[in-house]
Amino acid sequence: MLIKQLFLLFAFGIAFVASVTPPPYGQLSVSGTKLVGANGQPVQLIGYSLGWHQWWPQYWNAQTIKALKCSMNGNVVRAAMGVDSGGYMTDQNTAYRLTVAVIEAAIAEGIYVIVDWHSHEPHADEAAAFFTKIAKAYGKYPHVLYEDFNEPKGFSWNDVLVPYHKKVISAIRAVDPINVIILGTNTWSQDVDVAAQNPIKGYKNLMYTLHFYAASHFVEDLGNKLRTAVSKGLPIFVTEFGVCEASGDGRIDTNSMQKWWSLLDQYKISYVNWAIADKSETCSALNPGTPASSVGDSNCWKPSIKMVVEYNKKKATGISCGGGGSANSGQSNANNKQKANTKGKSNGAKKSG
């Protein structure tokens, strides 16, 4: 019987994850401008983004995911699967394999995972096919969120991005009707105010991406775009931010970052820090040569990530390193298992993420 069940799972592209730990807030959904947990309570996801898979594959594994959870108090990891520049469009098998490794590690650890189509160019057909495959394999797990377009460059929201998003959303929803989908916005995912003028209609559990770098973007300018979007009812998710300049390098702006954290916490907006990588730049978290086994060792951390972790450790993220989601997860283990089984400036300048 077990062999027959495994054969059927394989035949339909459904993944069998050996170890499943419920995520902190159970099944997520969107209510108004808020991300909410299984009991309808507003929640924040707080965590870390991996760097492009084709350049830092050494961190796309279970060791890293455990460190992000247990040493950095993260309840979400972003799998920034590179699409161009030698990524998915060049080698789909490696990209998928590494993404799956991160998804399954997050499910085992009991944290959420954002599957990020990390591109600046629209590849609608390829994105739809990729997310269909991911949704078939892992859409039954409440841990999974989809980010369908990392940072669109200078594309029109109405003419290019709305049709793109509708195509990808439709592909995902044909398989997974529930899990949250996060949509990239114009100008490197900054123009959330533009998206708020014509949001995608006809689908539930959609959010919109805002990216910022604290030494280049400020609550007095880009922050006003966020305020405008929220005032119009747009749910925002900061899937990428840095404490440094928009290049991913340069100075750390502590004062600006503190203002951003206050603004995000005011609206209970989730946020993910860029990036778990060992590149020689300010917002790359790790010292050059750091192995995956030392991601949780603060002696291997740069000042940027130390600042972020210090703040994140003050936050209630619902996790427990004794074995996954906390007792206040908002959904029983049984219900979770039942589901599991059934950058740049506003003018367009760009940075490393």
The answer to whether residue 115 is domain-embedded is yes
The domain that contains 209 carries what CATH number?
3.20.20.80
Q: For the chain (length 353 residues), average pLDDT per consecutive 10?
A: 44 76 99 99 99 97 99 99 96 98 98 98 98 99 99 96 99 99 97 98 98 97 98 99 97 99 99 98 98 99 99 97 47 35 37 57
The answer to whether residue 346 is domain-embedded is no
- At position 113, the amino acid (one-letter code) is V
| Count of domains forming the chain | 1
- Annotate 105-116 with DSSP letters as a single string: HHHHHT-EEEEE
The answer to whether residue 353 is domain-embedded is no
Q: Are 245 and 252 in contact (CB under 8 A)?
A: no
Q: What is the pLDDT of residue 17?
A: 87
The answer to whether residue 152 is domain-embedded is yes
Residue 182 Ramachandran class (φ > 0 left, ψ -120 to 50 alpha, else beta):
beta
The answer to whether residue 16 is domain-embedded is no
Strands 34-36 and 206-213, bridge-based pairing: unpaired
Q: What is the pLDDT of residue 14?
A: 76
Residue 335 Ramachandran class (φ > 0 left, ψ -120 to 50 alpha, else beta):
alpha
Name the residue range of residue 291's domain: 27-341
Catalytic center residues = 151, 240
The answer to whether residue 12 is domain-embedded is no
The answer to whether residue 10 is domain-embedded is no
The answer to whether residue 113 is domain-embedded is yes
- At position 251, the amino acid (one-letter code) is R
Q: Are 292 and 313 in contact (CB under 8 A)?
A: no
Quick one: which of 15, 11, 212, 6 has its CA closest to 102?
15
C-alpha distances (whole Å) from 239 to each of 74, 184, 212, 303 are: 13, 9, 9, 21
The model's pTM is 0.90
Q: What is the pLDDT of residue 352?
A: 53
